[in-house]
């Protein structure tokens, strides 16, 4: 393998590009709310689905100490098919012992001494997330929206999505925000922080009305806590205690105050999407930007991001493998960092920025 045929991973940071994004609800009973070639805005609902609801199986015969399971129907206060609320009496014994519903839902079955409840099904709505046009509709599954905007792709997300206004953290940092001193401009915003995520960051997110968080990194022991959050968290650098690199900070500062969709996709082996924030950027003039080129090989002068988090430009692409300090001989590139320093980096550790 030589550099001429090496195609690096693409994690775009573009101020303006033509974007196509598919919105899906593959595992639900889906109703498409828009037609093909329909114009949509950020918050327009394009898909609605019924979320599958879990079941609860109650051993009522054991609860009441019944010798014969067929005695249960005579004790029932509600019948099969009835909708019930959590805490409502399902059955009662002569001496007043009551069996209460553990969930709100529907009684699906009564028999064999058992009661089966299905929790109330919830409705899931998916917003367009971009100001653009629907260019493809797959009935019962998905729509594809085409738009023009900025995009910043990260390394990890907690599988949540939200729409809000991009805002930089206060000068003193996210952790210093108090409920009584909360700036009204930050309520409902997607907050950008330069600092790694800490437990105190998660606590503030839970207490305040943030729509989402863009941060450089976090320690791996916080993964479970962040996955439980209902709001999206996007990491731009990865895991550890890395700060956000200057190029990314400057990009997000320029985008501050614009509406954006934070799609914090959770990376997985079979997941083709990348965690990203798509920013609604108005077009100027008649020139329409091109879509990102995801099939471009690495070239001299390309903007790249190293896996260590820093950014730079390709200054040279040696045609033969380089012997590294660790004893491995690998195909490498020479990268000039923002401060002028030149480093030799294995091609596998380079992401193309666009």
**Residues 47, 134 contacting (CB under 8 angstroms):** no
| 180 and 256 inside one domain | yes
Q: Is residue 68 part of a domain?
A: yes
Q: Is residue 19 part of a domain?
A: no
How far, in Å, are 30, 104, 119, 232 from residue 115 at the CA level?
Answer: 29, 14, 13, 38
Confidence of residue 219 (pLDDT cuts 50, 70, 90): very high
Q: Is residue 341 part of a domain?
A: yes
- Domain boundary pick from 238, 273, 308: 273
Give me the CATH number covering residue 61.
Answer: 2.40.50.100
Instruction: Give the tens place of pLDDT for each residue, 135-156.
Output: 999 988 899 999 999 999 999 9
| 188 and 222 inside one domain | yes
- pTM for the predicted model, two decimal places: 0.74
**Dihedral (C-alpha) 334, 238, 205, 223: value to the nearest 10 degrees?**
180
**Dihedral (C-alpha) 272, 275, 279, 280: value to the nearest 10 degrees?**
40
How far, in Å, are 131, 132, 165, 169, 354 from residue 283 at the CA level?
Answer: 11, 12, 18, 27, 19
Q: Rg of the Cα trace of the chain?
A: 26
Q: Which domain holds residue 321?
A: 298-352
Question: Looking at 25-141, which runs of residues are DSSP E strands?
Answer: 29-32, 39-40, 45-51, 55-59, 83-84, 89-92, 98-100, 105-111, 114-119, 122-127, 132-138
Instruction: Return the structure tokens found at 79.
Output: 């019948």
Q: What's the mean pLDDT in 75-85?
A: 92
**Domains: count for the chain:** 3
Q: Is residue 326 part of a domain?
A: yes
**Residues 262, 211 contacting (CB under 8 angstroms):** yes
Q: What's the chain's length in residues?
A: 354
**Dihedral (C-alpha) 195, 259, 204, 239: value to the nearest 10 degrees?**
-40
Looking at the DSSP assignment, which residues form a beta bridge with residue 218?
A: 197, 239
Phi-psi region of 70 (alpha: psi -120 to 50; beta: other; left: phi over 0): alpha
Helix (H), strand (E), coil (C) string for 31-47: EECCCCCCEECCCCEEE
Confidence of residue 1 (pLDDT cuts 50, 70, 90): very low
The reported pLDDT for the residue numbered 60 is 92
The reported pLDDT for the residue numbered 10 is 78
């Amino acid at each position: 393998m030589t550099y001429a045929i090496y195609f690096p991973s693409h994690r775009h940071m573009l101020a303006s590009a033509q974007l196509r994004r598919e919105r899906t609800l593959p595992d639900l009973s889906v109703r498409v709310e828009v037609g093909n070639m329909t114009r949509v805005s950020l918050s327009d609902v394009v898909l609605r689905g019924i979320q599958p609801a879990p079941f609860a199986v109650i051993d009522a015969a054991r609860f009441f100490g019944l010798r014969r399971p067929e005695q249960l129907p005579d004790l029932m206060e509600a019948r099969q098919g009835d909708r019930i609320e959590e805490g409502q009496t399902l059955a009662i014994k002569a001496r007043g012992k009551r069996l209460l519903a553990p969930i709100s839902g529907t009684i699906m079955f009564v028999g064999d001494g058992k009661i089966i409840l299905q929790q109330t099904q919830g409705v899931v709505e998916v917003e367009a997330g971009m100001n653009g046009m629907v260019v493809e509709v797959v009935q019962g599954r998905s729509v594809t929206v085409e738009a023009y905007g900025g995009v910043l792709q990260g390394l990890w997300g907690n599988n949540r999505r939200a729409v809000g206004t991009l805002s930089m953290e206060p000068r003193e940092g996210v952790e210093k925000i108090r409920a009584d001193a909360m700036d009204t401009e930050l309520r409902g915003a997607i907050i950008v922080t330069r600092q790694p995520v800490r437990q105190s960051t998660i606590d503030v997110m839970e207490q305040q009305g943030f729509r989402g968080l863009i941060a450089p990194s976090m320690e791996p022991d916080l993964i479970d806590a962040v996955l439980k959050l209902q709001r999206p968290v996007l990491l731009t650098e990865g895991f550890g205690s890395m700060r956000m690199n200057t190029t990314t900070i400057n990009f997000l500062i320029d985008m501050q105050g614009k509406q954006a969709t934070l799609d914090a996709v959770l990376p997985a082996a079979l997941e083709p999407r990348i965690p990203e924030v798509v920013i609604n950027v108005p077009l100027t003039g008649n020139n329409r930007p091109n879509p990102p080129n995801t099939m471009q090989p690495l070239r001299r002068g390309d903007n790249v991001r190293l896996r260590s988090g820093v950014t730079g430009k390709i200054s040279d692409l040696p045609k033969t493998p380089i012997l590294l300090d660790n004893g491995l001989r690998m195909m490498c590139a020479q990268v000039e960092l923002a401060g002028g320093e030149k480093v030799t980096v294995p091609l596998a550790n380079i992401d193309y920025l666009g």
